[in-house]
Structure 1
Amino acid sequence: MSTADQTAPPSEGTGGGPADFNHPYTPYDVQVDFMKTVYGVLQAGDGQVGILESPTGTGKSLSLICASLTWLRNFKASAHETTLKSLGEKFAGEPDWVVEQLLRRKRDELTRQWEEREERLESIRQKERAQEARRAKRRRVEEGGSELAREAVDEDAEWLLDDWEDRDAQGGSDPLSGLSAETRDILSRMGMGPKKTNPEDDKLDDEIKIFYASRTHSQLSQFISELRRPSFPSSYPSHGGTASTGEGREGEGDGERIPAPAAVAKEHVKHIPLSSRQKLCINPSVSRLGSLSAINDRCAELQQSKTKAKCQYLPGEETLTQTRQFRDTALATLPDIEDLHALGKSLSVCPYYASRAAIPASEIITLPYPLLLQKSARDALGIKLEGNVVIIDEAHNVMDAVSGVNAAAIRLSELRRARQMLAVYVRKFGKKLKGENRVMVGRVGRVIEGLSEWLEGAMKGKGEQEGIVDSNALLRHKSIDQINMFKLVQYIQDSKLAYKIESYVSHIEEDRSSSQGPAAAPRSATPVLHTLLSFLLALTNLSFEGRIFYQKDPSSTPGGDIQLSYLLLSPTHAFSSITSSARAVILAGGTMSPFEDYTAHLFPSLPGAKVTTLSCGHVIPSSNLSVWTLSKYRTPTGGESPFEFSFQRRGDKDMISQLGLALVNICSVVPDGVVVFLPSYGYLDEVVRAWQASPVWDRLSSKKVLFRESKGGSSDEVLESYSAAILSPAPDKPRGALLLSVVGGKMSEGINFSDRLGRCVLVVGLPYPNINSPEWKAKTEYVESTTASRLVEADPGVGAKAAAEEGKRAAREFYENACMRAVNQSIGRAIRHRGDYAAIILVDRRYGSERIRSKLPRWIASSMEGEEGLGRVMGGLSSFFRGKKV
């Protein structure tokens, strides 16, 4: 949501409690509902899960920030007080004044540590601001400032020593001074002896934190920008009280409130973004390798003690000062990934590793999906979810994301290349390979030969172009099934075999091409052995959770090619490591409906009482949305026929023609941009061919400038041209544009058709996946069988027939929900802020059924009209847009 769409609150806030959530603007009612729900899920803890839907344009990211960080500060402050209370109860038998002294000392100690850290971070912020001011002033001078301005720039200020303060002098005298030796001994035995200070020892570190994940780095950067807007109360108030009220402690004698010092009232959010080496590596010799797997292997190799030339950027004893400076600067400045990369370069310390030093003291950690969803990636980064909060944004595709990070594929052409590379390597180093190395390299060769043999046989066969592979039959070739795949994968990873072979072969090929002169381009060393490793790693997953598929590709290379792919059928096991560890998990998105799939397939064993769902309304007034179901059309004979774009009927030429004529009428009353989503690229091509062969295409061209999405084309170019036709129309062209797109295509997710770019969105038909594809057959069979077996396990009295029927129902529901999630994503491209308005037309009679309507977002379903013909829809559209004219 644009921040300009909300009103800033008065300068004096109402406190830091759940009543206001520290929102930087006056929140809408839907935002308050959303924040209360998030806060409630986090407060309940104990493995609670929230599935929350808030339409794009309702300030979802800022609401997530305000609710979660308000809760975090309140929780930390409460935990701080609980710790002191339990300490007092522990020593309840001691004299009151000794316990009072203990609590005062402990409270002061924790607060002093907190204040020292906050002062250190504030000092860094001030330094950063001063440096930025100097840089800005220098830029102005370089752009042609006056001599007087030149004199005003202190060129030496950057290198001046910082003001030094005597830390010992600030601490004052020993608080135990003046007490008797006996009393000092008692306090010492209670852990209250003289304090040995270490400015680098942060005992406030490693507290509860929030892990926030989203799909892309650009989405994470937008989230970090929003993170800079609000401010939150301190989690460590001095001398008692809680962060939510800002109150001090009770006075010892008269019950008066002692206010907290002003320095404690403010605490900046401490945040660190995490990413892969591919994004953060600053060693040019490593980062230039390009592929993530090659970068990972080379980085690991440079850390080994036997390596002569270690990476000079690795944190260590010699770079301890830079690492601490990196940590404190990161915690002080709310950086994004680009900031961390630049900071690491400026300090000559690796940002990938140095960022880990900031994890314990961070309150919120941002990271992309793969780093959160893969346990191996979390372990590599040192991420511990136990007792912490996990927020997954853009979570509508989290199940696909879990499957994606566990998927793998390899082609026959890649295996042939791998066999060739392995042969080159063995010819050079084979005699030097001893013991385990010789055995393991031989096993890698056997695996390559076995998989290649199966694929070559399948390629020559006259069977289907695609299908499911019997894993036992696949692994019988060359007796691969006798190889311990876990051990082989571990060997390839630990020995860096893939990187060593690929880098050696690349070196040989580059030398060969250089000797042949500049005209001979060096052959690229595709990281096929890393691709093989990923596939072997996938094979080690639980067999019942995944399937292996083959797909022939006769036209890809001379002689054709064939691919093996591994698909994870269920995200349950992979996701369970998150839900079983975290204190609470929030799944949030703009279009999460329908909700049932998340509970059924991400955490099926979780009790219903532990799952909270919320579907927020929109912030727009109801008059800014017009939703219609175009369900029927007039036939040439004067009768009526339903619009039904089912697989059996979608080729009906009369229906395609009538769809085009309806679109001509709609374009005549809708201003600016119209976006149409069709079920597939193949059907889009079929519809366009039919319209071009009739007067429909020319009539559409007279109403709008026409654009279409293509499967292999650039979406950026199409979107740029479409936007220009609407915002900067040519004098000889119609006003506005029509964009023909595909549900699930490039335009259906992440593209913003706000304001004039999307005054009307049409979804044609229900884009069900191909139920006859091997992948969807395997998925529905898996859902059917696991649902039935789970039902019998829960209630042995359920008959086999009833369990089977329930399994079939669950499979149909899963299949239909996949379709509706794609529809909801397409619908969400319009209406992007409070002042926006648009019409949404669902072209298919099936959208009128209660079952389908229940799977639409609440804000759409509540505004839907009934099933209508074109006449009623046109009347409604005309009235809607006539009311929007200025």
Structure 2
Amino acid sequence: MPTYKIRGIDVDFPYEAYDSQIVYMDKVIQSLQENCNALLESPTGTGKTLCLLCATLAWRRSFGNFRFGLSMNAGDKSEDKTEILPSSLPSSPPSQSESSGLPTIVYTSRTHSQIRQVIQELKRSSYRPKMIVLGSREQLCIHDKVKSLHGKTQTNACRALCQKRRGKQRCNHLPQVADYLKSNPHLGEEPVDIEDLVNIGKSFGPCPYYLSKELHKSVDIVFAPYNYLIDHAYRKSLQLSWSNSILIFDEAHNLEGICADAASFDLPSWLLTACISEAQKCVDLSIERREKSNDKSQNPDDFAILRALLLKLEKRIAQVPIESKELGYTKPGPYIYELLADLNITSKTFKKLSAIIAAASTLIEEDNQQKSTGTICRLDSIGEILDIVFKGGRTTHATYYRVHVREFEARTANGSKGNVSRTLSWWCFNPGIAMEEFHRLGVRSIILTSGTLSPMDSFAQELKLDFPIQLENPHVITPNQIWAGVVPVGPSGRTFNSSYRTRDSQEYRQELGNAIVNLARIVPDGLLVFFPSYYLLDQCIGCWKSLSNETSTSIWERICKHKKPVIEPRESSLFPSSIKDYISKLKDTSTSGAVFFAVCRGKVSEGLDFADHAGRAVVITGLPYATYTDPKVRLKREYLDQQSHPRGELVKVLTGDEWYNQQASRAVNQAVGRVIRHRHDYGAIIFCDERFAHPHRQSQVSRWIQPHIKCFSRFGEVVYTLTRFFRDVTIRGPTKLSLLEVDDGGNVGEITSADPYDDKFNVEKLLSPVATPVAESLGTRKGSTSFLGKIMPANRSSLASDDCNIVDCVSSRDKCGRIFLGKKTVISQEHELVDLTDTRQLGEKSKDTLIAPCSVKKRRFITGEYNLQQQFRDSHEPSCGSGELQCKDEGTFQKRSLEIDSQRGDLPGDSAPSATNETQGSAFLAQVVFIICDTLICLHA
């Protein structure tokens, strides 16, 4: 295993590292050594997670060996505890981290599924720190009754059972925690996941939830979803020693939005009405219990007071004067305390009210269990709102908020107008509040990293933190693996611009549709098309389906001729079925693949890997600006503009317009990141909007893409270069990058490969790291030379088995054969001519005349499976269920043969296309054929 000395730290790395990986680890170690924060962007597939783990753990090991054994202790003394552990667990002296001064690493990511992938990366390294994964009761509880509950209802039920010392209703799993830890003191010295803890609980009896809470007090590294840290109440219950700790946010591209949302609330009228009904239900239940069983544990007067307060709040919201439905009613943030003070809810009384709400929640849950109903307690939301408003008993943070009341008419099931409803909102416009709290707790360094942090300026300014160390890493792919271009015009020369001025025109939608028809012919396998909004997606598809007559097919029918379409649904519940549909259509060999029509900021653009054949190209149809008139967007812009007014400060402050533009750019970068998911992958990035041609707009695109972007003045040039790109990359395959090593003196030098690429292309090197959407564990590697070509991208790809029988074949300019022993032979098929026309159907004679110089055979897949369903379930669920991620890909491959006729015939001139149906597209086709033939003649000459 190679060892690199970086800034005096010996870093063990499982494989020979690329130069970009060494630079990344250098920045991580620099931030830790200098006690400062870092903002690190590295594209997906560059191994950033593995680099982050190895660099951080190597730095930590330089202070001393990793912890071992078990120390049952109390925890952090810097924050008050809201959750007291049951008395059956022993208390003990201060934690190891406090007594030894060794820093604790807190590694967070967005979801539990991403944490699971991080732990898989840890298993690949040589580091074995004492570790634990934190999970909620929903993931860890194994009690037969409690595990089916949710939220605070589950928390309250768990605490109630744990507090009972005797009886059948007590939890039998909690008392076994201490005994199990004593008999297994080395638990956590090998990587342990949530599923492992659950299996321990089911097999040996201890409660997995409290097992993790005890273990995390004496570990070197803690893994958790980052909402556990952002949520103020949950963070206080962690009992971590925050002083001198290292805080890492992986996949942090949405961190600012999550921080702001976690500190905000919306209270619609229907929810408040439901809470009032539940308060009345608690009054009735408590009275009924007193009458039947003389149970006086619950006071009906408390619930009556709660109901009266909620009724008064409902009345106050209804009395708010709203002159304009578009603008609503807006007040400064501190107004919320004035509103609640009228209800006698203050920082001194809210704790008593919270206790009443918790009692009400328990009472309702007990009643639901008796009646076997799965109703969710709505009163919990009122308790959460009070926690947000009176966070930590402080009110100074209210200046970063705005109170807003909006009114709208509810719609009935048949679409008719319903009752008028109102929503009370308290919106946080300073996501840096959570980060400032970590600074107050004495965190040593905060590292934010992701594949799509760009544009990075707004990130630092929004989070109100200094990031002296910033990095925008290049990709590990070579230039021949990416095609990136701005397409400002369509096949007929009409301009692409999705702004509100042009997006509703029939000409724009038709031109965009014709462009996608052509791209569907050129791009092999999976094609992703992202729209700025669901509105534009629905309007365009509706237009494409309606434009047809007796002499021509519709745009939609011509898209379906080449790729079977799938449309991203608005409803989250329908999304898993759409993923399954896309997978099945992608494997269907009757067409050249599938096309997924999706929306920026939607479910497709976040958290799913469309590696290899699942995504060979992504089309961005416009800039996904947030709705300008949305009250939250409008108030955010106003807030930033007020903060940016000159105050004699030299520090640049983000303005409302800058934030508005950068949010759109970040959504584009996130969508673009769905393709080219590992170092052996390749694909195209197509910007179908003239605004991307502006240098300022391109500067907002991820840094690794910028050098590859080209602007095309004619659509014919796009067709030609894109066709050649996929032809060449299929024949040639990705070339190998140079590797670097760092000697003991810190000098960086290039490693010379023992088997460099030459005219023969090695199929094993190209296909052995077959890309799958989810990482799988690697087998043991022996010998440094075997590492070349087998460097594993973090979180994304797995390698085929080492003993896979694949034969190298020689490739030439006009032929490329591939043989797979033991596999299904590639099926050939009569080639289909590529039709580059738009709405007009050509006869066979016309096709032969116009398209003869270029033809592409349809692809045929070998066996292959895409496990995007499992990806979706894990990456989009707020909590991760049990089950192990699996994905099989035995080398899905396409056979594509390109036959070029170099003979040049008489071609029409470079005249502009006519707008008539008879001639539309002919001149465009002539331009494409002219360019192709002219180039081929030059090549043969």
The reply to whether TM is greater than 0.5 is yes
- The residue type equivalent to 1:62 in the other structure is L
User: What SS does the aligned partner of 2:705 have?
Assistant: helix
Deviations 1:475-500 (A, max 9, x none): 87897353325532454248732323
SS in 2 for 1:859: coil
Match of 1:669 in 2: 522
Partner-residue secondary structure (3-state), 2:11 = coil
What code does the residue aligned with 2:408 have? K
Provide the residue aligned with 1:323 in structure 2: 181
**Is 1:483 aligned with 2:473?**
no
Matched, 1:532 2:382: yes
* CA-CA distance at 1:535 after TM superposition: 2.3
Q: Does 1:217 align with 2:70?
A: no
State how 1:456-495 maps to structure 2 within 5 Å: 464=325, 467-470=328-331, 480-484=342-346, 487-493=349-355
Q: Could you tell me which residue of structure 2 aligns to residue 425 of structure 1?
A: 282
Pick the aligned partner of 1:749 from 606, 622, 626: 606
User: CA distance change for structure 1 residues 719 and 334 in 2, over 3 Å: closer, same or farther?
Assistant: same
What residue in structure 2 maps to residue 587 of structure 1?
Answer: 448
Could you list the per-position Cα deviations for residues 805-857 of structure 1 after superposition, in whole angstroms to 9, with x for gaps in the alignment? x87x6111111111111100000000011111111111111111121111111
Q: Which residue of structure 1 lines up, in the alignment, with residue 19 of structure 2?
A: 29
Which residue pairs with 2:58 in the alignment? Answer: 70
Q: Is the contact between residue 425 and residue 504 of structure 1 (CA under 8 Å) also seen in structure 2?
A: no
2:637 and 2:656 in contact (8 A); partners too? yes
User: How has the CA–CA distance of structure 1 residues 315 and 829 changed in structure 2, closer, same or farther, with 3 Å as cutoff?
Assistant: same
Question: 1:215–1:369: 8 Å Cα contact kept in structure 2?
Answer: yes
* 1:414-447, Cα deviation, whole Å (9 max, x unpaired): 3223222322322454689999977754542233
**After superposition, where does 1:645-664 map in structure 2 within 5 Å?**
645-664=498-517
- In structure 1, the partner of 2:89 is none
Aligned to 2:649: 794
Once residues 740 and 14 of structure 1 are traced to their aligned partners in structure 2, the CA distance between those partners, rounded to angstroms, is 45
Instruction: Give the Cα separation in 2 of the matches to 1:719 and 1:421.
Output: 38
Q: Secondary structure at the match of 1:70?
A: helix
User: TM-score, normalization: structure 1?
Assistant: 0.71
Q: Does 1:643 align with 2:499?
A: no
Q: CA deviation at 1:271?
A: 0.9
Residue 230, structure 1, aligned to residue 125, structure 2: yes
Cα distance, 1:324 vs structure 2: 2.9
Amino acid corresponding to residue 323 of structure 1 in structure 2: L
How far apart are residue 760 of structure 1 and its match? 1.2
Paired residue secondary structure (2:453): coil
Matching residue of 1:564 = 424
1:389 aligns with 2:267: no
> Which residue of structure 1 lines up, in the alignment, with residue 311 of structure 2?
449
- Aligned equivalents of 1:18 and 1:496: distance in 2? 53
State the TM-score, normalized to the length of structure 2. 0.67
Supply the distance in 2 between the matched residues of 1:19 and 1:583 (Cα, whole angstroms). Answer: 18
- Residue by residue over 1:506-558, the C-alpha shift from the partner in whole angstroms, topping out at 9 and shown as x without a partner, is 367x2xxxxxxxxxxx6543211101212233333532222344353512687
| Residue 874 of structure 1, CA deviation | 1.4
**Equivalent of residue 593 in structure 2, options 736, 740, 747:** 736
Q: What are the superposed Cα offsets for residues 143-187 of structure 1, whole Å, 9 maximum, x if unpaired? A: xxxxxxxxxxxxxxxxxxxxxxxxxxxxxxxxxxxxxxxxxxxxx
Q: Does the CA-based 8 Å contact 1:410-1:564 persist in structure 2?
A: yes
* 1:501–1:206 CA distance, 2 compared to 1 (3 A): farther
Change beyond 3 A, Cα 1:818–1:349: same
Residue 391 of structure 1 aligns to a residue whose secondary structure is strand
Q: Distance in 1 between matches of 2:335 and 2:285?
A: 34
2-structure distance, mates of 1:778, 1:819: 17
Question: Aligned partners of 2:366, 2:179: CA distance in 1, in Å?
Answer: 37
DSSP-derived class of the 2:360 partner = helix
Residue 276 of structure 1: aligned partner:
136
Distance (whole Å) between structure 2 residues aligned to residue 473 and residue 368 of structure 1? 33
Tell me the SS of whatever aligns to 2:108. strand
Alpha-carbon contact 1:49-1:584 (below 8 Å) kept: yes
Shift of 1:570: 1.3
Q: 1:879 to 1:667 in 2, by over 3 A?
A: same
CA deviation map 1:343-373 (0-9, x unaligned)? 2333322222222322233111100111111
- Note the 1:438-837 alignment, pairs <5 A: 441-454=303-316, 464=325, 467-470=328-331, 480-484=342-346, 487-493=349-355, 496-506=358-368, 510=371, 524-540=374-390, 542-549=397-404, 550=406, 552=408, 554-555=410-411, 559=419, 561-580=421-440, 581-604=442-465, 606=466, 611-633=468-490, 640-694=493-547, 695-712=554-571, 714-729=574-589, 733-788=590-645, 791-792=646-647, 794=649, 810-837=655-682
- Distance (whole Å) between structure 2 residues aligned to residue 473 and residue 599 of structure 1: 29
Which letter maps to 2:27? T
- Aligned residue in 1 for 2:191: 334
Q: 2:307, 2:49 → 1: CA distance?
A: 50
One-letter amino acid matched to 2:30: G
Does structure 1 retain, via aligned residues, the 8 Å contact 2:50–2:121? Answer: yes
- The alpha-carbon distance between structure 1 residues 600 and 619, as it changes in their structure 2 partners (threshold 3 A), is same
8 Å Cα contact 1:626/1:877 also seen in 2: yes
**Contact persistence 1:16–1:70 (CA under 8 A):** no
Q: 1:313 to 1:507 in 2, by over 3 A?
A: closer
Q: Which amino acid is the alignment partner of residue 647 of structure 2?
A: V
Structure 2 segments unaligned to the other structure (5+ residues): 71-92, 392-396, 548-553, 732-941
The match for 2:719 is: 874
CA–CA distance in 1 between the matches of 2:330 and 2:304? 25
Q: Percent identity?
A: 27
State how far apart, in whole Å, the 1-side matches of 2:479 and 2:9 are: 27
Structure with greater helix percent: 1
Given the alignment of the two structures, is residue 51 of structure 1 paired with residue 39 of structure 2, yes or no?
A: yes
User: Do structure 1's residue 41 and structure 2's residue 26 form an aligned pair?
Assistant: no
Mark the CA change 1:334 to 1:479 in structure 2 (over 3 Å): closer, same or farther. closer
Judge conservation of contact 2:6–2:26 (CA < 8 Å) in 1. Answer: no
Q: Check 1:546–1:489 CA distance in 2 against 1; reply closer, same or farther (3 A cut).
A: farther
- 1:207 and 2:52 correspond: no
Aligned equivalent of 1:404: 261
Change in CA separation of 1:305 and 1:526 when aligned onto 2, cut-off 3 Å: closer
Contact 2:284 2:300 (C-alpha < 8 Å) held by counterparts: no
SS in structure 2 opposite 1:567? strand
Opposite residue 284 of structure 1, the aligned amino acid is D
Q: CA deviation at 1:44?
A: 1.0
Pick closer, same or farther for the CA change 1:793–1:446 going to 2, 3 Å: farther
Residue 340 of structure 1: how far off its partner (Å): 1.2
SS of corresponding position for 2:657: helix
Determine helix, strand or coil for the equivalent of 2:235.
Answer: helix
> Cα deviations across residues 401-420 of structure 1 (Å, max 9, x unaligned)?
11232233333233223222
The 5 A counterparts of 1:304-383 are 304=163, 311-313=170-172, 315=174, 320-325=178-183, 328-383=185-240
1:498/1:303 Cα in 2 relative to 1: closer, same or farther (>3 Å)? same
Deviations 1:685-743 (A, max 9, x none): 000011111121122122211221121162332222223323342xxx32212211111
Q: What secondary structure sits across from 2:674 in the alignment?
A: coil
Query: 1 CA distance for matches of 2:297 and 2:142?
Result: 37
**CA distances 1:185-217 after superposition (whole Å, capped 9, x unpaired):** xxxxxxxxxxxxx9x999986731210001111
Q: Please say if residues 498 and 689 of structure 2, whose CA atoms lie closer than 8 Å, have aligned partners that are also in contact.
A: yes
Structure 1 pair 219–450 and aligned structure 2 pair: CA distance change class (3 A):
same
Structure-2 separation of matches of 1:757 and 1:497: 51
Question: In 1, Cα distance between the equivalents of 2:317 and 2:8?
Answer: 60
The change in CA–CA distance for 1:337 and 1:457 in structure 2 (over 3 A counts) is: same
CA distance in 1, matches of 2:208, 2:369: 29
For the aligned residues, what is the CA RMSD? 3.3
The AA in structure 2 aligned to 1:782 is Y
Which of 665, 683, 686 is residue 841 of structure 1 equivalent to? 686
